[in-house]
Amino acid sequence: MALLIPLLVFSMLFTSSSTEFSAQPGICYGQLGNNLPPPHKSIKLIKSLKAKRVKIYDTSPQILHALKNTSLHVSIMVPNQIIPNISTNQTFSNQWVQNNVLPFYPHTLIRYLLVGNEVITSTTNLTWPHLVPAMRKIKHSLKLLGLRKVKVGTSSAMDVLETSFPPSNAAFRKDISAQIIKPMLGFLNRTKSFFFLDVYPFFAWASDPTNINLDYALFESRNISVTDTGTGLVYTNLFDQMVDAVYFAMARLGYPGIRIFIAETGWPNGGDIDQIGANIYNAATYNRNFVKKVTKKPDFGTPARPGWVLPSFLFALFNENQKPGPGTERHFGLLYPNGSRVYDIDLSERRSKFRKLPPPENNSPFKGRIWCVAARGDNATLLAAALSYACSQGNRTCDPIQPGKRCFKPDSVLWHASYAFSSYWAQFRNRGGTCYFNGLAMQTAKDPSYGSCKFPSVRL
């Protein structure tokens, strides 16, 4: 089996081409914020971080124009929603490349074209069968138009794996392994492209902080290691363990030589009250240590692939205030929207002295009650719509704020929305419900109850 090929052979397979790829990380430039600087200023900020490459989640003409005649290698993306159209229509694919890539190439150094973003995670299984055919069509379109330097791939989250521990026992999920992943690996192998992987030790650690050591997740472990009993390989950090799981899963399907490109990794600098370990200290520690790891000379690689360069993108450039979901989603940035740094970092690893970090205050789980209330009342129309939505969900969510009931007064949209948000969240948090409501809600540890009106809460 491929899994039995000595690790030395893997290293030899890669040595000849490893110098083609810079180990210096790039940056993910997301745009889900209503307070972000314009592209030309953002590109200057990216350069100030010493990034080698930039990844965007679309084909924004403004950004691609701003990247013209820079030395930054660029990754662009096909939207998830048009993957079925591309997979079934070569003409549509050709036209998409002609409209979205050709006008900027080669003056903008477009080097990677990702077909969708975490397609297996974020779309229904009706889209999945279209993924690899769409990748083939896009590659053919690039060839037809003479754009031969652009690698085609797609980004995957760690949930494409069914088992991941120990790494040598890792395997892709049975529902996608034969039909989706294996043909994808064949395409990547044939075109000498990468398996683009989103790796977040934060989420793995936060889901099980009792059994996973925080220092192990932050590349800070000195006396902590995990041994893979199947191979004897020793792991000193969670990132390597996660990456090697995917290498072994690919080898299990017969593709041990495909390189991994870290499409996203990072650590949140803030989050909600109920989110453990999301703080500036941990974010700076993780990202600085990640930069040290991947830029180390000689190339360290991972225990299963020693010496292999790991090209990468850190997530993300800015804190993006319009990203939905838990608070951490809006706090992955290296920069605030005004361009100032959340903490000092240098992606070239040439700078070693940084300003002192604030101590972490939430590395242990919060104990107590939390409420979800209206964050602001400046847009009564939006707040009324969110109130209506919350009241339409669950079991008698808003009965106490009906006329004549104990929480009706004061009779204001802000008050009623706060009650409705807390009631909704108390019912649905364990089923994935969030205290967000398009940015209109926030968590609080201060009880908003008044008189005989008692707000529902979540107890941690």
Question: How confident is the model over 248-261, as pLDDT tens digits?
Answer: 999 999 999 999 99
pLDDT of residue 20: 58
pLDDT of residue 380: 87
pLDDT of residue 1: 38
Query: Bridge-partner residues for 17, per DSSP?
Result: none
pLDDT of residue 6: 38
The pLDDT of residue 371 is above 60: yes
| Cβ contact 354:341 at 8 Å | no
Distance separating alpha carbons of residues 259 and 190, to the nearest angstrom:
12
Report in angstroms the alpha-carbon separations of 113 from 19, 24, 80, 104, 135.
Answer: 21, 19, 13, 13, 9
Lowest mean per-residue pLDDT among 12-21, 115-124, 231-240: 12-21
Q: pLDDT tens digits, residue range 165-196? A: 999 999 999 999 999 999 999 999 999 999 99
Residue 264: active-site member: yes
pLDDT of residue 166: 95
Per the listing, tokens 């900020």 go with: 45
Which of 226-230's residues contact partners 24+ apart within 8 Å by CB, and which partners?
Answer: 226/166, 228/166, 228/167, 228/168, 228/303, 229/166, 230/166, 230/168, 230/169
192: left (phi over 0), alpha (psi -120 to 50) or beta: left
Two tokens, residue 77: 């993306």
Q: pLDDT tens digits, residue range 45-62? A: 999 999 999 999 999 999
Provide the pLDDT confidence category of residue 16 given band limits of 50, 70 and 90: very low
Q: From the candidates 20, 162, 220, 264, which is the catalytic residue?
A: 264
pLDDT of residue 8: 39
pLDDT of residue 395: 84
Q: From the candidates 118, 320, 329, 349, which is the catalytic residue?
A: 118
Mean pLDDT of 294-311: 91
> Would the pTM of this model clear 0.85, i.e. be above it?
yes
Residue 329: active-site member: no
pLDDT of residue 14: 42
pLDDT of residue 18: 42
